[in-house]
Structure 1
Amino acid sequence: MKSNKPSLILRSFNGLKVIKKKCPVSLTSTPPAKAKNNVEHFQNPESEQGLFEEAMADVTPLARDADNEKKLIIKEPAAPVTVSDDPTAEVISRLTNLVEKGEGFLVSQTPEYMEGIGYNVKPEIAERLHRGDFALDAHLDLHGFNVEKAKEVFDFFLKEAIRTGKKSVLIVHGRGLSSPEEPVLKTKVREWLTRGFWRKWILAFTSARPCDGGAGATYVLLRERPYAKRLGKTRND
């Protein structure tokens, strides 16, 4: 009995024509496109470099900035500040800072501090003067002078300071710690600033900060022109 299954055996090349007509599929052999071997790109450093250069072809590199590079430096965190519970240690620490660095010492809170303001001058001016808000234009050192010579040098110094437009000056007179009673030159400087001829030229004066001599020196703020007394005031005002 004959089988109904179609035969797949080709008897001759002529049978190819029949199959070709029945099957519209092209028998032309076309090799499939080769898939890109992506694994190679991850395993081969040369391929990775090539991909990177291709991707960055249109990118313009930024100019190196030394300042910006410095800003990127990561600093180690500062050590935490420890607070001692021992009051004795705290006192010793403050005394050490006072002796070595002058920290915690206010000249204005000592008996040696002196301050004065001129006519119609607000007290805030003296505070600013002592704080150092006015840059020093000149200074005079009276160390080594007796009172008579110191007065002569003092007068000449202030005269020249006013003539040349100086506004803030420093007068170093010492603290007078070797004097048996009060400091001689320091007391005289205060007297010269508050009495007589120079009184009308003074806006304010204060003891200096520690960095400029402390109680052993005096800041003086000068007027541009002498103060003119108003009518009605006596000569002793």
Structure 2
Amino acid sequence: MSDTPPNDASEFFQAVADVSPLQSDRARLRGNRVRKQRNDASDYRRQAAEQEPETFVDGLSTTAVEIIESEQDLLFVGPGIQIREIKKLRRGHIPWQAGLDLHGYTLEAAREELARFIRDCKNNSLRCVLVVHGKAYSQPGQPALMKSHINDWLRQLHPVLAFCSAQPKDGGTGAVYVLLRQKT
């Protein structure tokens, strides 16, 4: 090997051709899993940024969000919520009074419908509602975009105090119970 550094990609690849990867399975598996998730999320963010400028509907941003896995549990707790209330919500012990099923909606339509639904529920003094977002099983290999956006949008809506994935009888990880502020 020469004393001068390689000046183009082919010389670099020739210089590192005899390098072998680490033999630890644990490190390789962890690295591949994290890298794949980041590539999926960053690809989606890049595509979304290239396709449309950021806009807001009822204060909800259209920018890309953190990608959530289909089976991942969702949990958000705003300030001032008692642990006892969250436990009751997670167990499904707070009866939901209205529901919204977003199957078949585009992201744009779902964002508008969710904002309208939460606003109407708050105006009608509802305490707990169910939002069904699905798990994205209809498109194998695709990220759960609707679930990811619902997770982000609910956090942005002022009437939302807390939310969590529903019990299996109400949709499991394909739905969320949403605890709303009481009208004052």
Q: TM-score, normalised by structure 1?
A: 0.45
Matched, 1:194 2:121: no
Unaligned runs of 5+ in 1: 1-109, 227-237
Tell me what 1:210 maps to. 168
Q: Is the 8 A contact 2:90 2:166 kept in 1?
A: yes
Deviation digits for residues 106-158 of structure 1, max 9, x if unmatched? Answer: xxxx9511111112213332221011121111000000001000011111111
> 1:179: Cα distance to partner?
5.3
**C-alpha contact 1:204 1:222 (8 A) present in aligned 2:** yes
Larger radius of gyration: 1
Tell me the distance in 2 between the aligned counterparts of 1:121 and 1:179.
37
Superposed displacement of residue 225, structure 1: 4.3
Alignment TM-score, normalising by the size of structure 2: 0.58
SS at match of 1:156: helix
Aligned residues: percent identity?
A: 33
Q: Does the 8 A contact of 2:162 with 2:178 survive in 1? A: yes
Runs of 4+ in 1 over 4 A off after TM superposition: none
Cα distance in 2 for partners of 1:190, 1:172 equals 12
- Indicate the residue corresponding to 2:62 in structure 1: none
1:7-46, aligned counterparts within 5 Å?
Answer: none
Q: In structure 2, do the counterparts of structure 1 residues 116 and 179 end up closer, same or farther at CA, with 3 Å as the change threshold? A: farther
Residue aligning to 1:174:
134
Q: How does 1:6-85 map to 2 (within 5 A)?
A: none
SS at 1:154 equivalent: helix
Per the alignment, residue 102 of structure 1 pairs with none
Greater relative contact order (Cα < 8 A, sep 6+): 2
Q: Any gaps of 5 or more consecutive residues in structure 2? A: 1-69
1:148 alignment partner in structure 2 = 108
* RMSD, aligned CA: 1.8
Query: Whole-Å Cα distance in 2 between the matches of residues 179 and 203 of structure 1?
Result: 33
Residue type of the alignment partner of 2:114: F
Are 2:86 and 1:121 equivalent residues in the alignment?
no
Asked if 1 retains the 8 angstrom alpha-carbon contact of 2:100 and 2:130, the reply is yes
The aligned counterpart of 2:98 is 138
Other structure's SS at 1:186 match: helix
Conservation of the 8 A alpha-carbon contact between 1:172 and 1:217: yes
Count of residues paired in the alignment: 114
Deviation at 1:176, TM superposition (A): 1.4
